[in-house]
Structure 1
Amino acid sequence: MSQTRQGRNKALVLEAFDTLFNKRDYVAAERYWSPRYIQHSAHIAPGREGLFDLIRSLPATLKYEPGVIVADGDFVIVHGRFSGFGAPANWIAADILRIQDGILVEHWDVIQDEATEEQSKSKAPMFGSSFPTCVTSDNVSESHMR
């Protein structure tokens, strides 16, 4: 059975994010991001090299965890958590990507600091099924399953 376009696009985004953010394999990541990649994020310099340079500048402890992922045509939205990058709080992000001919060509994001249980008015975690339990001295958040 052949995979749908949306299924292929979701798999592409997950593989691309793991390759760049977790494995930090920049050579392999080039096959996922277009050389003419359009970056709409306000905190990332233009193009593929802007993104790659940002990741190169972050600590090796950077981790990306995908959560909910949806696709519609050439667009994929993935809700995920960025941790271990040196900030006081993890980032919960909704990354929106446009895919053309099997490559990431455009990106937007919405980013929010992850709330602890004490900070959350809803008392529901922003990502997954548990809250981050603490932020360690090197700003790597730890979490546990409840």
Structure 2
Amino acid sequence: MTNNLATRNKDLLLHGLAEFGKGNIEVLRNLLHENFIEHSPGNPSGRDAFIEFTASAPVATARLDIKRVITDAEYAVVHYHMITSEDARGVAVVDIWRLVDGVITEHWDVVQPVPDADQLPHGMF
């Protein structure tokens, strides 16, 4: 059962990210619980408030190059390179999503600017 939930969570997140990457922000309405809880400073909780905020955030028009997805029965962790038109070097992001019954209920993230390549002897990703 746990493996099935992990697979479902991974498929749900990858599909959602693919749609989001195509500019379909409305996909979040189906992915997020109405009482979605956001743990990142400055980002609002609640599905509608979060979607409105995200629609005008840099991530809405960024390219998301997914590097890793790790899931279990309750969480999905996505590590990706986010590149915007204003920042070609981009940022490294780790999103942690908590899912209950196939719906995202909580989110945490860590965002780190990608430094110059000479500062990364083993690469950023």
TM-score by length of 2: 0.82
Match of 1:39 in 2: 38
In angstroms, what is the RMSD of aligned CA positions? Answer: 2.2
Q: Which amino acid aligns with 2:77?
A: I
Conserved 8 A contact 1:9-1:71: yes
Structure 1 position 101, deviation (Å)? 0.9
Please give the secondary structure, in 2, of the residue aligned with 1:68.
strand
Matched-pair identity in % = 26
Q: Which amino acid aligns with 1:115?
A: P
Alignment of 1:47-126 (within 5 A): 47-58=46-57, 61-84=61-84, 86-87=86-87, 89-120=89-120, 123-126=121-124
Structure 1 position 33, deviation (Å)? 1.2
Instruction: Provide Cα deviations, 1:1-50, integer angstroms capped at 9, x if missing partner.
Output: xx721011011111122222x12213333111111111001142222234
Question: Runs (4+) of structure 1 moved beyond 6 Å?
Answer: none
Q: Which amino acid aligns with 1:119?
A: Q
Gaps of 5+ in 2: none
Report which of the two structures shows the higher radius of gyration computed on alpha carbons: 1
TM-score by length of 1: 0.72
Gaps of 5+ in 1: 128-146
The one of the two structures with greater contact order (alpha-carbon pairs below 8 A, sep at least 6) is 2
Question: C-alpha distance in 2, partners of 1:25/1:85?
Answer: 18
Conserved 8 A contact 1:14-1:66: no
Structure 1 position 109, deviation (Å)? 0.8
Match of 1:133 in 2: none
Number of positions where the alignment pairs a residue of Structure 1 with one of Structure 2: 122
Please give the secondary structure, in 2, of the residue aligned with 1:46.
coil
Structure 1 position 73, deviation (Å)? 1.9
Q: Which amino acid aligns with 1:34?
A: H
Question: C-alpha distance in 1, partners of 2:95/2:30?
Answer: 19
1 or 2, which has the higher helix percentage?
Answer: 2
Please give the secondary structure, in 1, of the residue aligned with 2:33.
strand
Conserved 8 A contact 1:58-1:85: no
